[in-house]
Structure 1
């Protein structure tokens, strides 16, 4: 007997109306009941994401859980509109963003949603829609050649790359699970023989260069094969998903033409290897938050399927519950508006409002001990999954159990053992000021050559930016929606970041193979005292014979309106070099304390390694011990004060040179160039102050509170910086360069004054 028949028709319709859902068939007085055979009823379906017990509970709560009901109503409206429009499965021909690509993507998203609607509402029209579309794909796939676009290293059939084909199978597996018992045994046999098994074989056995590696691409492939294997109860497919293809002929270190991926590292492949290698014990994903967001869907949705169908794998406990930790890590890698920091290849604007993070939050809540902070994120997302985990979240919100998800200062390690660098985040207050310091590993093919780079935020606004990626995702007019050549020539290059470039050459000479062998080393992370927080790391491999040691200090001084940041870059070299340190500031330049000249004709700063994309808009020098710029961004004033030598050149640059197709943003930077120098220290202070209202037309506290920043001590053992405010009050910061022991006592003399302290640094 259908579960829906437990309710009277009047009661059920009332519940659906309360949820904002109209009856699908107004000509009948009751909801249609699915047709099933007695044979198929013996099979446990749905069981992958939705479960039979979960469907029971969802139906019992329909109309009484607002967040779930709202989500259900929105999905029903979307799917009903697609059903009314009719099914279309065009012959593939386009790149990302093109019509056929977008249509097949829409199809797999709608199929998954139609499946859950069929289970929750028991309305046969959704099962019919899924069945009809699946058989259209079955008829097409039997003779479908490789995709006509040849750009990818692993061409798909429905899409231009196997990655998107894998997306399709991950979602469609869920739809198939939901209608499994609706279909006859013969129909299932036809679909599995002509569509699902050949599809799984194509993205795995026929494309081992895609499937058998450690990368987000392979995670999607592994999940796709594993999820259809779970629905079909096919052990061989499940094992292939978990452990990869054996005997695929890929050697450790083998590369492809898509950026030098490492395959089969240490002889491992498959879903479990992708859990082990890219994730640190803290849950940081080495490719960066943008791709962590993208990979979270296959990671968590396949994990949930394994948990439900094969609980003996204890997948949520794997590697000390790293998947559940990863959700917390990813949420911490976002600004006050929930947008992810664009580390490595990352599109700005991607946030925890994405569908992948709705999935991540719901699953992490259900299987991660009901973290009530996640409920506050779900409230902001204002939607939940239409499954067991989504109902759990919606019930938690309904019952008033949500607590704020507090993002505090945090150090996230990188590497499978947590010993390959990391990302340090310093936060003051309620994300009033946030500093993101990257000292991580290369980050696989999506990594940038930006050791010891940082970015700065005030609430949700960028102050000093990371460029992110050079790509217009799914916008066909820009390179078919794919990565642009400028991603390599600009976005990945060192000069595109707020870090040190030496001799106009990128870190590791821009070599993926070399960069993948090395990582920076954390020197110090101390955020115990919110008034003075420190993160510090060293990089010794980016340039041969040169050590870079960068220390960033967030200081809240009562003499200042807001916290300011002290940036110390100490360089030890064996010979003279040219050093370039840029700050990519957002907003409009207001004032400088030095003279500069602007050229009549804009020319590029250099010829390669990203320099060819920087116009020189101004060049200045100063005999003052400090250079200062003042800029205005989003109604707030910012000042950057940097200690200078009289031989330093001060550049104003702007991105956009050698860019005939206008693929790059025209953002500005202030750069300090120090030439013919061996050992040196760059020191700057960045402060936020005051504001301007275009309505009142008043500027408040528009001037810097810092008078000078000076290097007063620089030895192998210690670096001392004096910060003097406009009232003449000085503060002294001294870093011990060789030990961070909290018990170590230090004593240094500066200008005949002795300073003693215990620990890694002194501030007074």
Structure 2
């Protein structure tokens, strides 16, 4: 662990004075490329297929940009607008051009970088703050300091590559008029952006640190690692998303941004979408520190959590490599993104050369054009690649791993994947969705998490920024597959309250691939109410595919209305209950997300087991839920009170119980059969569940019977509600028949009880 002490600061200050007196004597390049690495790359060129192919692609891209000429327009646009996208394109191309200069030793790339840098030097020294005012920390080149930091992270790499190509006078001019003012602006002039624990600040820390490493500026390096000593920010200040900028006693800087958001398992509290985004600055700055300041042992910090986090992140993806959309997350983001190319290559090179990472790199079809990319390319060439094995996993949340977590249950080769979220709030990008889950079959969503309400970098939709519906819908509890009490979101949708609490794991057991179970409790989302949810992924004889058993036990000190939604994708096939369809649509409610749900139908159970079936991607799916005569069944669709069509028109089913204090919701979700539009044959289109019944439901035990529709056989799932110890023996009598088992649950097959 690296400690921040007066002694450390003294030696860093002395180092700064020596650098000032003697000039920057370190080798260049030294951040992501090294002189030794460049020599190795040149020696292997033409004999490393994936590296060679990447190089040719990058060369063609940069050559095309050089032919177009340099454009550094006066900034004016939000994300997606021309000036925003042009400056973004510029920093990406600058970094690539710098690398090409080093690898190909062609001065045209160095000259291009030089010319572009001096264009920015001339632009930046008199550039005002960006004219768009939406951000809590406005940039200069971009509408927010976050994007300015993106620019400096990439451009620092380009500068490192052409450092020796430039004269001492040219370097001095760039550093005086561009790089040092740029670093100061995004840090000391915007401490509300820079001096916090958040993915924004990680980019800022890396930007300041990386340009500091190239310049040999010890003050900037220290500022990057530890933050600003006295930032003048009041405790409790917030950003535009309602997230805390400053929390009492919280440290800042790059090391704090490793220590706080990452759990020991490598889970990043903001969720996989933002973990993917932050992995680039985390890992390229770490690589630069490793190369220039090896004494910091950055890849060993917090027991090597940065390298661990790559494995955690890859495990938070579906069969298509798309990340589970927990918290604010755009669906479709995957490990094919440029950030994950960086993450996989660096994790392979600086980790233990895990051969499974090579198969991900092969899927990505490209590598970094640096030392780590060479290592991956050589590993692939030498046939070391092994398939990446994604298994069931339970990842703790919080700095100590004890603030809840995320569990992923997988059957087979992702034939069925269940994602259970019982995590902490997730900073300002968190949603109010305690004990929610989503379900996948291969890459097909069966029950979905909505994700975010934003069209990233599409200017027509709010300048590419978060839409108001992200707050009014996507973050609200009713937008998720979890319990809503009295049409009010968890913690009343208050970030200050939600940030103080997390759910508690009850148990996780994936030791038997045919019966995998996870459970957790939440007792703070609604004061006086405890939610205890247990999810089992079961593969049993008589059922074509694995199915999910969902048991949600609610106990409260008052009577409430409970809503349990299920959001599915596809076309409704049939329902075994009667319902009415209104002549004109009305929203289901007036606030907390309910205003965005059209009430398309209302029904009432006519059996103890209510079923709804739908067809999606050639498969049939059925939700079976145990119901009572007073339950209400609501068919809903997202999109009410949405005049700009910012929300998807997806369907949902809500089970409602009114005037109820204690209750248990029990459901089964199954995949079955298939339909081919080519042959026009449907196979096994009906559910295998004949009846779903709650046999026992006390404070100590719950027992559920699942009857097979074809042969009448029953699966009996029994669990302890109060003791989750794996070695504890339990005894339960059901209809005069006794059952004994060890551990928190047991599944048995029976013809009677």
The two structures have a TM-score, normalised by structure 2, of 0.96
Give the equivalent residue in structure 2 for 1:669.
Answer: 652
Q: 1:20-35 residue pairs with structure 2 within 5 A? A: none
Give the equivalent residue in structure 2 for 1:746.
Answer: 730
Aligned counterparts of 1:252 and 1:758: Cα–Cα separation in 2 = 49
Give the equivalent residue in structure 1 for 2:316.
Answer: 333
Give the equivalent residue in structure 1 for 2:3.
Answer: none
* Count of residues in correspondence between the two structures: 726
Q: 1:328-407 residue pairs with structure 2 within 5 A? A: 328-407=311-390
Q: 1:564-579 residue pairs with structure 2 within 5 A? A: 564-579=547-562
- TM-aligned CA distance change 1:265 to 1:319, over 3 Å: farther
Aligned mate of 1:431, from 406, 414, 423: 414
Give the C-alpha shift of residue 401 in structure 1.
0.2
Aligned counterparts of 2:566 and 2:734: Cα–Cα separation in 1 = 30
Give the equivalent residue in structure 2 for 1:15.
Answer: none
Give the equivalent residue in structure 1 for 2:293.
Answer: 310
Contact kept? 1:213, 1:265, Cα under 8 Å: no
Give the C-alpha shift of residue 753 in structure 1.
1.1
Give the equivalent residue in structure 2 for 1:36.
Answer: none
Give the equivalent residue in structure 1 for 2:465.
Answer: 482
Q: 1:50-449 residue pairs with structure 2 within 5 A? A: 50-263=33-246, 266-449=249-432
Q: Does 1:559 align with 2:542?
A: yes
- TM-aligned CA distance change 1:267 to 1:731, over 3 Å: closer
Give the C-alpha shift of residue 267 in structure 1.
3.8
Give the C-alpha shift of residue 743 in structure 1.
1.6
Contact kept? 2:439, 2:448, Cα under 8 Å: yes
Give the equivalent residue in structure 1 for 2:4.
Answer: none
Aligned counterparts of 1:414 and 1:253: Cα–Cα separation in 2 = 23
Q: Secondary structure at the match of 2:43?
A: helix
Give the C-alpha shift of residue 85 in structure 1.
0.3
Give the equivalent residue in structure 2 for 1:695.
Answer: 678
Query: Which string of whole-angstrom CA distances, capped at 9 and with x for unpartnered residues, describes residues 402-456 of structure 1?
Result: 0011000000000000000000000000001000000000000000000000000
Q: Secondary structure at the match of 2:307?
A: helix
Contact kept? 1:647, 1:674, Cα under 8 Å: yes
Contact kept? 1:214, 1:265, Cα under 8 Å: no
Aligned counterparts of 1:42 and 1:674: Cα–Cα separation in 2 = 72
Aligned counterparts of 2:564 and 2:264: Cα–Cα separation in 1 = 33
Q: Does 1:646 align with 2:645?
A: no
Q: Secondary structure at the match of 2:258?
A: helix
Aligned counterparts of 2:546 and 2:251: Cα–Cα separation in 1 = 47
Give the C-alpha shift of residue 624 in structure 1.
1.0
Query: Which string of whole-angstrom CA distances, capped at 9 and with x for unpartnered residues, describes residues 116-161 of structure 1?
Result: 0000000000000000000000000010000000000000000000
Contact kept? 1:41, 1:181, Cα under 8 Å: no
- TM-aligned CA distance change 1:187 to 1:250, over 3 Å: same
Aligned mate of 1:755, from 730, 739, 749: 739
Give the C-alpha shift of residue 258 in structure 1.
3.3
Q: Does 1:550 align with 2:533?
A: yes
Aligned counterparts of 2:312 and 2:483: Cα–Cα separation in 1 = 27
Aligned counterparts of 1:258 and 1:707: Cα–Cα separation in 2 = 47
Aligned counterparts of 1:660 and 1:43: Cα–Cα separation in 2 = 58
Q: Secondary structure at the match of 2:264?
A: coil
Q: Secondary structure at the match of 2:314?
A: helix
Q: Secondary structure at the match of 2:153?
A: helix
Give the C-alpha shift of residue 740 in structure 1.
1.1
Q: Does 1:728 align with 2:681?
A: no
Aligned counterparts of 2:644 and 2:250: Cα–Cα separation in 1 = 43
Aligned mate of 1:534, from 517, 530, 548: 517
Aligned counterparts of 2:305 and 2:174: Cα–Cα separation in 1 = 35
Q: Secondary structure at the match of 1:615?
A: strand
Contact kept? 2:24, 2:216, Cα under 8 Å: no
Give the equivalent residue in structure 1 for 2:480.
Answer: 497
Give the C-alpha shift of residue 622 in structure 1.
1.5
Aligned counterparts of 2:106 and 2:743: Cα–Cα separation in 1 = 68
Query: Which string of whole-angstrom CA distances, capped at 9 and with x for unpartnered residues, describes residues 276-297 of structure 1?
Result: 0000000000000000000000
Give the equivalent residue in structure 1 for 2:9.
Answer: none
Contact kept? 1:212, 1:264, Cα under 8 Å: no
Q: Secondary structure at the match of 1:230?
A: helix
262-271 vs 408-417, which moves further: 262-271
Q: 1:607-626 residue pairs with structure 2 within 5 A? A: 607-626=590-609
Query: Which string of whole-angstrom CA distances, capped at 9 and with x for unpartnered residues, describes residues 157-199 of structure 1?
Result: 0000000000000000000000000000000000000000000
Contact kept? 1:425, 1:434, Cα under 8 Å: yes
Aligned counterparts of 2:24 and 2:548: Cα–Cα separation in 1 = 64
- TM-aligned CA distance change 1:42 to 1:612, over 3 Å: closer
Contact kept? 2:24, 2:215, Cα under 8 Å: no
Give the C-alpha shift of residue 40 in structure 1.
10
Q: Secondary structure at the match of 1:370?
A: coil
Give the C-alpha shift of residue 266 in structure 1.
2.0
Contact kept? 1:43, 1:181, Cα under 8 Å: no
Contact kept? 2:241, 2:429, Cα under 8 Å: no
Q: Secondary structure at the match of 2:613?
A: strand
Query: Which string of whole-angstrom CA distances, capped at 9 and with x for unpartnered residues, describes residues 53-72 of structure 1?
Result: 00000000000000000000
Give the equivalent residue in structure 2 for 1:737.
Answer: 721
Give the C-alpha shift of residue 254 in structure 1.
2.9
Give the C-alpha shift of residue 257 in structure 1.
3.6
Aligned counterparts of 1:374 and 1:654: Cα–Cα separation in 2 = 41
Structure 1 gap ranges (5+)? 1-38
737-746 vs 531-540, which moves further: 737-746
- TM-aligned CA distance change 1:238 to 1:42, over 3 Å: closer
Give the C-alpha shift of residue 558 in structure 1.
1.6
Aligned counterparts of 2:315 and 2:110: Cα–Cα separation in 1 = 40
Aligned counterparts of 2:701 and 2:250: Cα–Cα separation in 1 = 45
Contact kept? 1:414, 1:441, Cα under 8 Å: yes
Give the equivalent residue in structure 2 for 1:31.
Answer: none
Query: Which string of whole-angstrom CA distances, capped at 9 and with x for unpartnered residues, describes residues 288-344 of structure 1?
Result: 000000000000000000000000110000000000000000000000000000000
Contact kept? 1:65, 1:398, Cα under 8 Å: yes
Aligned mate of 1:707, from 653, 677, 690: 690
Give the C-alpha shift of residue 758 in structure 1.
1.3
Give the C-alpha shift of residue 574 in structure 1.
0.6
Query: Which string of whole-angstrom CA distances, capped at 9 and with x for unpartnered residues, describes residues 532-571 of structure 1?
Result: 0001000000000000000000110021110110000000
Query: Which string of whole-angstrom CA distances, capped at 9 and with x for unpartnered residues, describes residues 629-662 of structure 1?
Result: 1100000001110000100000000000000000
Contact kept? 1:214, 1:264, Cα under 8 Å: no
Structure 2 gap ranges (5+)? 1-21, 749-753
Q: Secondary structure at the match of 2:249?
A: helix
Give the C-alpha shift of residue 42 in structure 1.
6.4
Q: Secondary structure at the match of 2:561?
A: strand
Give the C-alpha shift of residue 763 in structure 1.
1.0
Give the C-alpha shift of residue 265 in structure 1.
5.0
Q: Does 1:517 align with 2:525?
A: no
